[in-house]
Amino acid sequence: MELFLYTALFSPLVGSLFAALFGASKKTKMAGIIPSALLGLSLISSFVLLVSVLSSGETVHVEMMTWMATGDLYIPFGFVVDQVSVTMMMVVTLVSTVVHVYAIGYMDHDKGFNRFFSYLSAFVFSMMVLVMSDNFAGLFIGWEGVGLCSWLLIGFWYHKESATWAANEAFIMNRIADLGMLIGIFLVYWNTGTLQYEQAFAIMPSLEIDVLTWMGIFLFIGAMGKSAQFPLHTWLADAMEGPTPVSALIHAATMVTAGVYLVVRANPLYDLIPSVGLFIASLGAFVALFAASMALVNRDMKRVIAYSTLSQLGYMFAAAGLGAYWVALFHLMAHAFFKALLFLGAGNVMHAMHDELDPFKMGGLNKVMKGTFVMMTIASVALAGIFPLAGFFSKDLILEVAFVENHYIIYSVLLFTAGLTAFYSFRLVALIFHGEERYKLFGIHPHEAYKFMLVAMSPLLLLAIIAGSFKMTYFEMVTKLLPATEYHVHSSLTYWIMTIGTQLFVAFAIVYAYKKYTSRDIKVPDGTSKLENCFCYKLLINQYYIPRFYEDYIVKSYRELSEIFWTKIDQKIVDATVDGIANIFYQTGERTRVMQSGNLSTMLKWMVAGTVTLLSLAVAFGLAARYSGEIKIFLSGLGV
Amino acid sequence: MLDHILSILIFFPALAAVLGFAVNKNSIRSYGVAVATIEFVLALWLWFAFDSSVSGMQFMEHIPLVKAFGINYIVGVDGISLFIIILAAFFTMIGIASLGETKDIKNMIVTLLFLQMTMVGVFAALDAIVFYLFWELSLVPMLYIIGAWGGPLRIYASVKFFLYTFTGSLVMLVGMLFMAYFYYQATGEWSFAILDWYRLILPETFQKWLFVAFFFGFAIKVPMFPFHTWLPYAHGQAPTIGSVILAAILLKMGTYAFIRFSLPLFPDASVYFMYPIAVLAIIMIIYTAMVAYAQKDIKQVVAYSSVSHMGVIILGIFALNVEGITGSIFLMIAHGVVSGALFFLVGVIYDRRHTKYMSEFGGLASVMPRYATIFGIMLMASVGLPLTINFVGEFLSLLGFYKQSHTLTLLAGMAIIVGAIYMLSAYKKMFFGVVTKDENRNLPDVNKRELVALIPLTIITIWLGIYPKVLLEPINTSVEAVVGLMHEKSLTQEAKSRIPNLTKDAEVITNSAENTVENSTENSAEEAH
């Protein structure tokens, strides 16, 4: 089994290095095919591990070598394949393989083809390290590694100012959260004496609740950055500057879910501090609603899907915060499938529309892009949570959790958000694929993507449809590690009312969106309509003015403060003081030079002055020596 | 030969430097490379022969100089100094090998070799007077390098560098004289040997005064806020090779001396001054990082980033536990490698464009992809990404200090944020975007001579990031000895509790083991009844 573990972990790295060999040379198909094949190998190994964990329930734990060891600290490169990590491995390798194959077509005309695959495979490797590590430090390696790859890939088209800006924003925001994570790790180390999950979690129940609370808070701050939770959420929408396969893999299916994974992994800790858990759940519910509201009006196809991702991450945190870790992980898995599918579909549309992102400029594309149309519609149905697709099983479960745990506010927020989700998803589908063919106004001739790209997407399509049927197998597997709470609404009547009510509500939202956005009156908005001038619309389209607030009050003041520190404090105060002191000596020398003028009478005068000084000093010391006893007594009286 | 390897390491470059004057100008480059390579091989041999399970000094040599005052030529290495010596030899080697077109190249190489003698001397010296001699001598070649090969403001910069550090060192010298005098009072004999001084337990007030005296010398060298203003001038005016050596090795003298002198000699004072120094370190980290962000000149960005990173090293030292001090020593090496490499990289672009203003560049990633890649790796090392060399040091330093203060570590941890801000924005300005200036359109990528320096540095950056154990093990052994000594020597209750007692755990374990043995024998005896 160890062999499979190492194959699963390291073949993406080999693929990345292979592609990097061609980094500076001309585009070659090999640089895309070999990493994809290696990822396939990784997928197969993960699958073998999954089967073995499923059948025997045994986990694989290896320690490759020592990383850091000093004092009492001992950190190995250790990897574990257990029920949780094998789930994550399957999600990561599966979506990555699909995205890699897809990207061979998508990046076909790009000059940086080889470089792209090098970065993308490096990302998969980092993500595998993140989910497979058996300790917090290893997790942190992966954590920062995915951050680096995200930076490289968001800023992949580095000649674009907006792309590099977004890349830096993402990296720095994540760094802010990483500080929290690092402090969390320090707390774990100094209180438990180890960073290995197993030992640390075993000691935690014996610690004071205060310490545990701080631990939970700081680790969660780390999770907030990667999973883009409020107030560190702005980077995710801007990260859509990267190529679309990147958005599908990193900013929808895998990296952004790392925060959820952390909370799930640290479940023994969060179980001990339910108050922090409640905070996480509340924040999750808030973010779900908050992000969904911004998706309602946005006119950038990819940003809408990004906000939808954000909103779904909110759902996951809501579940994890309420202690339903397996539910959170299940939604993470289902979401990865249909959201990646949605993004890849959006990539096809973008290609067809020559990188046009405004859905208002599309319309009627279902005639030319049948395959993409079907896939995106099914993905949206799954996202909306309609029976029997994947989203129904995972999202409805979260609503039930909130209901059963008696958190009715969270429940109603999440229920309402489910309606919004359905609305904005189908607003997008309707605008892109139905109604008038508005793109003709812009002289675009759309075409369907390559066949093999659609074939590559099909596994995701399949999983978006059937993932729900794995629920029981999955439940039995992960609950060997995670708390096995089943969430059942007690009375079956309530259950049916809830389920059917939710379905009807969501269906209504879908129908409403269709009706509203397939009508023939849809025009490309030009900023004159009544809706566009109302306050709510402006608030939402400007993302609640939060990015502008950050820019005006934080970024700008940081820049100004830096400028002041440099020009005013460093140069005018600190350095000027040093030069001033030096100047005193210099000036003293300059001034006293006149003493040595060579003029006999002046020099005689100074000689006399010198003699007088010396003599008076002699007298003073003589007296001091005579009365030394008295002086000592006097001084001791003063306390010297 | 192994018995005298340290003396050979110190004086071989100096001897070669003197002979270098006689070497023909055309062959001086290969002569310099040959000498530096031999020196580096000798340094590697030292590492190979070094026994990493021994915590004390190894390869010690002892030659009396002035018997009446206890001044001896004593040299030796332990895990703390070993790797800095190797690093010094390494940087001199790749520095000479990758030296670009320089006027008076002969003088430059001779100066560098002489500088190497002083650097190795400082880190090997175990007698305060010998230490002081090398410490001050190291100023001379650097003064000459900045003053003779520097930019337009070179005279001002070199004089400022010299006088500023020299003033601090004089205060330190007074401290050393007093230390020796106290030793004389306590034992009736004069001695400047550091290992003798280690045995001396001073009253707390004496410790504080002496700590302050030494502090001036070390803090200016590091340089610590607010004594750092000589550094931007020195870096700004120095030629590439000068900046590289200054950042990689010379700054480490200050932090090394804190560990060699301040901590073991004055444990109580170290605890007493821990918080004020930590606050200074945090100002260094955040304030200079912000100043770095405001810079327009890429070399100044790297210069200020140096100060910021040195803040983390200082913090690690004053964590006063094994994790922190080991981390800070590792970070000294790491920072040497990374900031040295960054100064090399700045030199690459300066050679091509004769400007260091970032606004003059932009879009270089498409013109010079290899350069952009290496710069990118070093950038990531500088911001402390895991699996690069810097992360190990930063992580351990901060981890160590967390034991002493939670809030201050949280503030110091801002290093990972502010560091990313100035480095990423500098990288964006230089490498991203489209090429706007015509001069940049046809810049040649890094050439072979430059790669001689950059590739080994890149390899080290990643290798030691993944496998830091080779360094951490010997460092750890020696640091444990220092911490143990500090705990033993400390007088106040505060210091005893702040500095961990390493032997206690061991005793408890042996005690409990004995108990269990006794119990089990009793049990078995009872069972026999």
Q: What angle do CA A296, A298, A302 make, to 5 degrees?
A: 110
Cβ pair A605, A611 in contact under 8 A? no
Q: Does the pLDDT at position B511 exceed 80?
A: no
Q: For residues B236-248, give the mean pLDDT.
A: 93
pLDDT of residue B505: 53
Q: Does the pLDDT at position B62 exceed 60?
A: yes
Q: Tell me how far CA of residue A62 lies from CA of A3, A132, A135, A142, B142, in angstroms.
A: 10, 10, 12, 17, 51
pLDDT of residue A638: 73
Residues 6+ apart with CB under 8 A from B388: B338, B377, B380, B381, B461, B462, B465
Q: Can you name the residues that pair with A76 across neighbouring β-strands? A: A66
Residues 6+ apart with CB under 8 A from B394: B312, B327, B331, B384, B415, B416
Among A423-437, A582-596, B511-525, where is mean pLDDT lowest?
Answer: B511-525
Q: Can you name the residues that pair with A70 across neighbouring β-strands? A: A73
Q: Which amino acid is at B455?
A: I
Q: Does the pLDDT at position A630 exceed 90?
A: no
Cβ pair B345, B371 in contact under 8 A? yes
- For residue B2, the distance in angstroms to the closest alpha carbon of chain A comes to 29
State the greatest distance between any 2 C-alpha atoms of chain B, in Å, as a whole number.
Answer: 99
Indicate the average pLDDT of chain B: 90
> pLDDT category, B519, cuts 50, 70, 90?
very low
Q: For residues B191-217, give the mean pLDDT.
A: 92
Q: For residues A413-425, give the mean pLDDT.
A: 93
Q: Which residues of A touch B363 (CB under 8 A)?
A: 159
Q: For residues B492-508, give the mean pLDDT.
A: 76
When computed from its CA atoms, the radius of gyration of chain A, rounded to whole angstroms, is 32
> Which residue carries 């760094």 as its tokens?
A175
pLDDT of residue B45: 95
Q: Does the pLDDT at position A211 exceed 90?
A: yes
Cβ pair B176, B109 in contact under 8 A? no
Q: DSSP label at A133?
A: B
User: Cβ B402–A71 below 8 Å, yes or no?
Assistant: no
To the nearest whole percent, how much of chain A has pLDDT over 90? 63
Q: Which of residues 177 through 196 in chain A touch B, CB cutoff 8 A?
A: 178-179, 182-183, 185-187, 189-190
- pLDDT tens digit sequence for A315-370: 999 999 999 999 999 999 999 999 999 999 999 999 888 888 888 888 888 888 88
Cβ pair A153, A120 in contact under 8 A? yes
pLDDT of residue B522: 46
Q: Name the residue among B327, B399, B472 with its Cβ closest to that of A189.
A: B399
At A444, list the tokens.
């675009």
Q: Name the residue among B228, B425, B467 with its Cβ closest to that of A168.
A: B425
Q: Name the residue among A24, A68, A575 with its Cβ closest to that of B396.
A: A68
Q: How many angstroms separate the CA atoms of A477 and B31, rounded?
A: 69
Q: Name the residue among A69, A189, A565 with its Cβ closest to that of B291.
A: A565
Q: Which residues of B touch A559 (CB under 8 A)?
A: 293-294
pLDDT of residue A640: 59
C-alpha torsion sign, points A31, A37, A39, A42: negative
Q: Tell me how far CA of residue A394 lies from CA of A389, A460, B16, B315, B345, in angstroms.
A: 9, 16, 75, 48, 52
Total number of residues shown for chain B: 529
SS3 category, A254:
coil
Q: Does the pLDDT at position B317 exceed 90?
A: yes
Q: If we measure between CA atoms, which residue out of B164, B148, B160, B16 comes closest to residue B93?
A: B16
Q: Does the pLDDT at position B126 exceed 80?
A: yes
User: Cβ B230–A578 below 8 Å, yes or no?
Assistant: yes
User: Cβ B322–A71 below 8 Å, yes or no?
Assistant: yes
pLDDT of residue B504: 56
- pLDDT tens digit sequence for B397-411: 999 999 999 999 999
Q: How many angstroms separate the CA atoms of A205 and A201, rounded?
A: 8
Indicate the average pLDDT of chain A: 90
When computed from its CA atoms, the radius of gyration of chain B, rounded to whole angstroms, is 24
Q: Does the pLDDT at position A411 exceed 60?
A: yes
Q: How many angstroms separate the CA atoms of A580 and B144, rounded?
A: 25
At A151, list the tokens.
């930076």
Q: Does the pLDDT at position B184 exceed 90?
A: yes
Q: Name the residue among A141, A179, A578 with its Cβ closest to that of B413.
A: A179
Q: Which residues of B touch A171 (CB under 8 A)?
A: 420, 424
Q: How many angstroms separate the CA atoms of B454 and B460, rounded?
A: 10
* Interchain CB contact of A633 with B (< 8 Å): no
* Interchain CB contact of A537 with B (< 8 Å): no
Q: How many angstroms separate the CA atoms of B227 and B216, rounded?
A: 9
Q: Which of residues 65 through 84 in chain A touch B, CB cutoff 8 A?
A: 65-73
- pLDDT tens digit sequence for A545-584: 998 999 999 999 999 999 999 999 988 999 999 899 989 9
pLDDT of residue B525: 45
Q: Does the pLDDT at position A597 exceed 80?
A: no
pTM here?
A: 0.92
Angle between helices B79-97 and B322-353 (to 10 degrees): 10
Cβ pair B247, B306 in contact under 8 A? yes
Q: Which of residues 112 through 141 in chain A touch B, CB cutoff 8 A?
A: 137, 140-141
Q: How many angstroms separate the CA atoms of A16 and A21, rounded?
A: 9
